[in-house]
Amino acid sequence: MINIFKTSLRGELIQPGDAGYDAARRIHNGMIDKRPRLIAQCVDVADVITAVNFGRTHGLRIAVRGGGHNGPGLSLCDDGLVVDLSRMKGVRVDPGTHTVRVEPGCRWGDVDHATHAFGLAAVSGIISTTGVSGLTLGGGHGYLSRKYGLTVDNLLSVDMVLGDGRFVTASEDEHPDLFWAIRGGGGNFGIVTSFLFRLHPVDTVYAGPMLWPLEQAGEVLRWYREFLPKAPEDLFGFFAFLTVPPGPPFPESLHGKKVCGIVWCYSGPPDQAEKVFKPVREFSPPVFEYLGRMPYPTLQSMFDGLYPPGLQWYWKGDFIKELSDEAIALHMRHGSELPTPLSTMHLYPIDGAVHRVGSPDTAFSFRDCLWSQVIVGVDPDPANNERMIAWARGYWDALHPYSAGGAYVNFMMEEGDERVRATYQDNYKRLVEVKRKYDPDNIFRINQNIKPEE
């Protein structure tokens, strides 16, 4: 049976014992060590249909792998079938309509590379190594979100393979209920084999980090919470606690020091940059800045080297409506206790254009929040996992009461049904209805799962 499956694929079928097995079951988070029974490395839609039909007919658990960047390792499963899309890497820019069609194995760097040649950019995240698939299906926020919305707000249509093997297109006009659900509802409804995105005229940006001493973090956060929401939407800046990396461009005097910072991205008219940054410069001189005009893909890949594949990752998120003085005091305490040099806490702005889409209009529901917060423990050495996880949980426990109640699905580990429900608020009921219609047997359940029964 497996032989027939194997020969009907144009891609490869990998099993335990095969030479490439260990490489094929490795994902970005080195903490994940799952052992699938079969890994189908698909190269086209026909392969995906074949794999889904095989998995369903043989009652296998099915996991779907896009970029493999997801924290809890939901792109793999033990003892089941992985539909691995990482070889499906086609990108086609249409400069006439300012759109790009992207296959599901692409990383954002693949898309940036293709679109930048035309002076265009897609709305993605803050790093180029993240997969297009998972980021988009969870919502997607990044450097261009205050100006152009979430990644899903720029999604025009998708092609999908459903659990029963059917192939459908979902857009505002075709299967609009499915199109609504996949814009934030994750991989719950089927496997996306092609994304069509709207692009924007973003070529170079004025961008980079500014750092301040850790002791000044309270002052920086109080200024940031007032300044950014009122700033032009051309300006994006995410706040971070971090340890200064021990190498250029950072001065030696700062190497290894815990600091706070804001990573800026200004995508407006170049001649307005000085004016927009004037209040930033007037606030307080940073101890270091690396700000300048650069191609958008340079900004997107600026931190790739810091976070290579294979590190240990543990993260927890929340959506934030308000940064109160009490919350800032707690951030100061926990943010100054970063357990390892790569651990961090980021506050990503999700205001501006994100707020112009209504919460019921897509599955992504927390449209009235100002920030998406993520507390991340990262380190190369598994020996530090316990300490790192304890820090992330302690930080999250302290701050969660000050949150809006739910978290971005792409910043969650496996945290249980209640957390998934909290993420979707009033949209959860409708997501269950769409799940019942398109995946009634919960074939796609290795994800932040929306169960067909409420």
Ligand X SMILES: Cc1cc2nc3c(=O)[nH]c(=O)nc-3n(C[C@H](O)[C@H](O)[C@H](O)COP(=O)(O)OP(=O)(O)OC[C@H]3O[C@@H](n4cnc5c(N)ncnc54)[C@H](O)[C@@H]3O)c2cc1C
Residues at the contact surface with ligand X, assessed by CB under 6 A: 28, 63-70, 74-75, 85, 104, 125-127, 130-131, 133-135, 137-138, 140-142, 186-187, 191-192, 307, 410, 446-447
Would you say 81 or 85 has its CB closer to ligand X? 85
Smallest separation, CB 1 to ligand X (Å): 24
How near is the Cβ of 252 to ligand X at its closest, in Å? 26
Q: Which is nearer to ligand X, 43 or 287 (CB)?
A: 43
Residue number, 140 or 163, with CB nearest to ligand X: 140
Q: How far is the CB of 159 from ligand X (least distance, A)?
A: 10
At how many degrees (to 10) do helices 417-424 and 428-438 cross? 110
Query: Which of 64/407 has CB closer to ligand X?
Result: 64
Decide whether 63 or 323 has the Cβ nearer to ligand X: 63
Q: Nearest distance from residue 99's CB to ligand X, in Å?
A: 18
- With respect to ligand X, which residue has the nearer C-beta, 17 or 301? 301
| Ramachandran angles phi, psi of 160, nearest 5° | -140, 150
Task: Quote the longest CA-to-CA distance of the chain.
Answer: 69
> Phi/psi at 235 (nearest 5 deg)?
-105, 130
* Cβ distance to ligand X smaller for residue 226 or 381: 381
CB of 85 to ligand X, least distance (A): 5
Contact (CB, 8 A) for 383 and 356: no
Closest alpha carbon to 347 in 325, 377, 380, 369: 369
Cα end-to-end span (Å), the chain:
36
Task: Give the separation between CA 208 and CA 73, rounded to whole angstroms.
Answer: 30
Q: Measured from the CB atom, is 259 or 350 closer to ligand X? A: 350
80 versus 186: smaller Cβ distance to ligand X? 186
- CA dist 389 and 154 (Å) reads 35
- Work out how close the CB of 187 gets to ligand X at its nearest, in angstroms, rounded to a whole number: 2
**Alpha carbon separation from 234 to 273, 323, 333 (Å, rounded):** 10, 22, 32
For the record, the structure tokens of 62 come out as 């099915």
Compute the least distance from the CB of residue 150 to ligand X, in Å: 8
3-state secondary structure of 149: coil
Contact 419, 380 (CB under 8 A): no
CA distances from 369 to 226, 318, 344, 364, 373 (A): 14, 10, 21, 12, 11
In the complex, least distance from residue 136 CB atom to ligand X, rounded to whole angstroms = 8
Query: Smaller CB distance to ligand X: residue 274 or 441?
Result: 441
Q: How far is the CB of 314 from ligand X (least distance, A)?
A: 11
**C-alpha to C-alpha distance for 215 and 300, rounded to whole angstroms:** 29
* Shortest Cβ 213–ligand X spacing (Å): 25
Omega prior to 249 cis, within 30 of 0? yes
Q: Do the bridges between strand 99-102 and strand 91-94 make them parallel or antiparallel, or are there none, so unpaired?
A: antiparallel
Min CB(329)–ligand X separation in Å: 27
Q: Name, in order, each residue with C-beta under 8 angstroms of 125's C-beta and a sequence gap of 6 or more.
A: 108, 135, 140, 141, 142, 143, 151
- H helix intervals, 32-144: 45-57, 108-116, 132-138
Return the number of the residue (66 or 335) whose C-beta is nearest ligand X: 66
